[in-house]
A and B are shown apart, each in its own frame.
Chain A
Amino acid sequence: MTTQAPGRPTPPEQRPPEQPGLPHTPDDETRLGLYRTMVLIRTYEEAILREYHVDKGPGFDIGKGLIPGEMHLSAGQEPVAAGVCAHLSTGDAVTATHRPHHLAIAHGVDMNRMTAEIFGRETGLGRGRGGHMHLFDPDVHFSCSGIIAEGYPPALGQAFAFRRKGTDRIAVAVTGEGAANQGAFHESLNLAVLWNLPVVFVVEDNDWGISVPRSVSTCVPSNATRAEAYGMPAERIEDNAVEAIYDAAGRAVERARQGRGPSLLEIHTLRMWGHFEGDAQAYRVDLTDVPGRDPIPTYERTLKAAGLLDDEAVSNIKAEAATRVEEAVTFAKDSLLPDPADAGKYVFA
């Protein structure tokens, strides 16, 4: 493990030559695990979608219903969460974005308390103070931020603290492709390489910054190019391919754990639904292709062809996921709303 002072970066010419990591090929059990995680996430998002629209009418009032406020769901982006988080333990940190559910679930955030938070209940992760863009589960070092790219800097600090404590724990910092045009992204990449921090940066490229396509926002075809310019290994993974993500993330995580510094993965994924619920997506030219790009049936076919899944196994996995998710939804609905008299509680410790 490299033991350099954070204030004293290793000059580029003194850094060891980059050794490409060995491929991480998922074994059968891992492949089924990836599938299960993806199904669990999709089942969860479908349940939140269902509950979110309850009592929003007449018409659509964003502030009404069991789940008020903006709702950014992650259907289609499951491969990112499943493929990356498969390499993490609960001691590792994950910082996510305004669209955080898939990563929270894959990293093992307490689903009951997360759901209660989304429902604004006192039993929620943040006792109803945070909401779905502000989920914090310190038991698994999970957090997210509603501000684009601003989840990267705190992840540096978590990585810094993990290394200072002499552990091999790492931080995974996730943003979308739109965030790569923010200063926080570039400052963070520079500092992470400079101080050789154990971070894996993940860019989820779902093609859209709300309604603005990547071609209108970003001057490079791949953010891996930008990361390489900062001196870290980086790769772009196409086609939302969960096993390719698993492989690349495995190498990046291993590199960080071994004290060899940060890496960046840009993953071309898919936003199956609107930016938020209520988004009519009139701007969206690719919408007709979306169902055919759904990563879950695609992976299901792969695993069936490999003889790892059959119809019965699929239906069992989906039933298990539904049971787990409905338990969480019931827990949330059965929980009390916070007492308005306590709105000022927890501003300070």
Chain B
Amino acid sequence: MTLTESPAAPAPSSQRLTTAKAMVQGLELEMARDDSVIYLGEDVGSYGGIFSSTTGLLDRFGPERVIDTPISETAFIGLGIGAAVEGLRPVVELMFADFMGVCLDQIYNHMAKIHYESGGNVKVPMVLTTAVGGGYSDGAQHSQCLWGTFGHLPGMKVVVPSNPYDAKGLIISAVRDDNPVVYMFHKGVMGLPWMAKNPRSMGEVPAGDYTVPIGEASVVREGTDVTVVTLSLSVHHALDVADKLAEDGVETEVIDLRSVVPLDRRAILASVGKTGRLVVVDEDYLSYGLSGEVVATIADEDPGLLRAPVARVANPDVPIPYSRPLEYAVLPRPERIEAAIRKVVGA
């Protein structure tokens, strides 16, 4: 700011927002900045997104840019792809990641592959936003994370914010990226008034525009005894557990991956190099997924970094059950995280 500027009503430098509101604010800034950004999906207009991912955007930008679609995921995700190819920057919402089954061809055979198949001549600057995660008894078809599945299929970046600051910075980065980016928001981190929430679902967010780099993990808690590599809602649980264990003298370092693709392998290696112990907490399925990929990163690079066997806390390859005690048994709840850390550090 210079002295010649009007001194009236300075914009607040930061506000306290929920993750959902921070995400919407990022979208709002990008839509205001770039007329080619549009938002498409089911119930994203007057409803504002089932998980509040678009609240207020229709009022501000109108139905030409914030567009309710029919329940035709193949058609409207494909529409997003074609529009991106022709120079728009569509953000397309798949209401639940679980619904990928009805439209996966457009996602992995088209959105993700066109750039490669065209030898780099065609870009698909599109964001696919989608809600993930369980913990509120929504059953086996509305509770999955599936980031390992998206991450397994080449050609799309995959980002998974856990908090308001990252939600805003990552959505801005995603919109500006020339690649397809899958932006996966856990319902449990959005700070929704109708769902149990961790205090970490609300936080300080700078008012202006900023980015969080895609592919860069964040050390959200420093520690010396054990590294917990995790993401999304499990970051909240891991931090709670880390606070509790600190009372017993166990210093836990918590890494929030923030991006699944590209995976910040250097951050994982650096932390495990420091602590010598690794626990991976992943709400997705155990086998053939992210937790195995994190462990393989150590095995590939330097298994000698480990002073103890690793532990993985993930869904034990079970469809997510409806009944609360059953669901809690398969999710990486704080009790399971704590037990895994204690086992790895021998405490």
Contact = CB atoms under 8 A, between A and B. Distances in A.
Interface stretch (A72-80, A152-160, A298-306, A307-315): A152-160
Contacts of A183: 74, 102
Interface in B104-163: 105-106, 109-110, 113-123, 154-155, 157
Contact of B119 (A129, A159, A171, A187): A129
Contacts, number: 165
A162 B118 CA distance: 21
Nearest to A154: B82
Contacts of A346: 115-116, 118-120
Interface stretch (B84-92, B191-199, B310-318, B321-329): B84-92
Interface in B53-81: 62-64, 66-70, 72, 74-81
B62 to A, nearest CB: 7
B227 interface: no
A129 B120 CA distance: 9
A15 interface: no
A153 B72 CA distance: 10
A158 B74 contact: no
Interface stretch (A101-109, A143-151, A251-259, A289-297): A143-151
B117 A136 contact: yes
Nearest to B86: A161
B81 A157 contact: yes
Contacts of B178: 349
Nearest to A159: B82
Contact of B77 (A126, A153, A164): A153
Contacts of B110: 145, 147, 150, 153-154
A141 B86 CA distance: 8
B45 interface: yes
A348 B85 CA distance: 14
Nearest to B157: A348
A348 B119 contact: no
A191 interface: yes
Residue picked from B70, B85, B113, B118, most chain A C-beta under 10 Å: B118
**On chain A, which size bracket covers the interface?**
35 or more
Contacts of A128: 119
A153 B75 contact: yes
B122 A157 contact: no
B118 A161 contact: no
A136 B114 contact: yes
B74 A153 contact: yes
Given A136-B117, A191-B70, A157 B78 contact: yes
A154 B78 contact: yes
Contact of A156 (B78, B102, B120, B122): B78
Contacts of A141: 86
Contact of A126 (B75, B78, B85, B118): B118
Given A5-B64, A143-B114, A153-B74, A125 B121 contact: yes
A191 B106 contact: no
Contact of B69 (A129, A152, A188, A191): A191
B122 A138 contact: yes
A125 B120 contact: no
A7 B85 contact: no
A145 B85 CA distance: 14
A127 interface: yes
A6 interface: yes
A345 B102 CA distance: 30
Given A7-B68, A348-B179, A184 B109 contact: no
Contacts of B114: 136, 143
B89 to A, nearest CB: 11
B269 interface: no
B63 A8 contact: yes
A156 B92 CA distance: 14
Contacts of B250: none
Contacts of A171: 82
B87 A161 contact: yes
B115 A154 contact: no
A191 B78 CA distance: 11
Contacts of B109: 145, 147, 150
Residue picked from A7, A134, A157, A164, most chain B C-beta under 10 Å: A157
A184 B78 contact: yes
Given A190-B70, A190-B75, A150 B105 contact: yes
A155 B119 contact: no
Contact of B85 (A124, A125, A154): A154
B81 A154 contact: yes
B157 A157 contact: no
Contact of A153 (B82, B115, B119): B82
Given A147-B109, A183-B74, A191-B75, A130 B119 contact: yes
A160 B79 contact: yes
A347 interface: yes
B245 interface: no
A81 interface: no
The 3 closest A-B pairs by CB, nearest first: A153-B78, A157-B82, A127-B119
Given A147-B105, A152-B78, A160-B83, 11 more contacts: A126-B117, A126-B121, A150-B106, A150-B109, A154-B110, A157-B80, A184-B78, A184-B106, A190-B72, A191-B69, A349-B115
Interface of A: 5-8, 93, 95, 124-131, 134, 136-138, 141, 143, 145, 147, 150, 152-162, 164-165, 171, 183-184, 187-188, 190-191, 194, 345-349
20 contacts: A7-B68, A124-B119, A129-B117, A131-B117, A143-B85, A143-B114, A145-B109, A150-B78, A153-B82, A154-B79, A157-B83, A157-B86, A157-B90, A165-B87, A190-B72, A191-B70, A191-B76, A346-B119, A347-B115, A349-B123
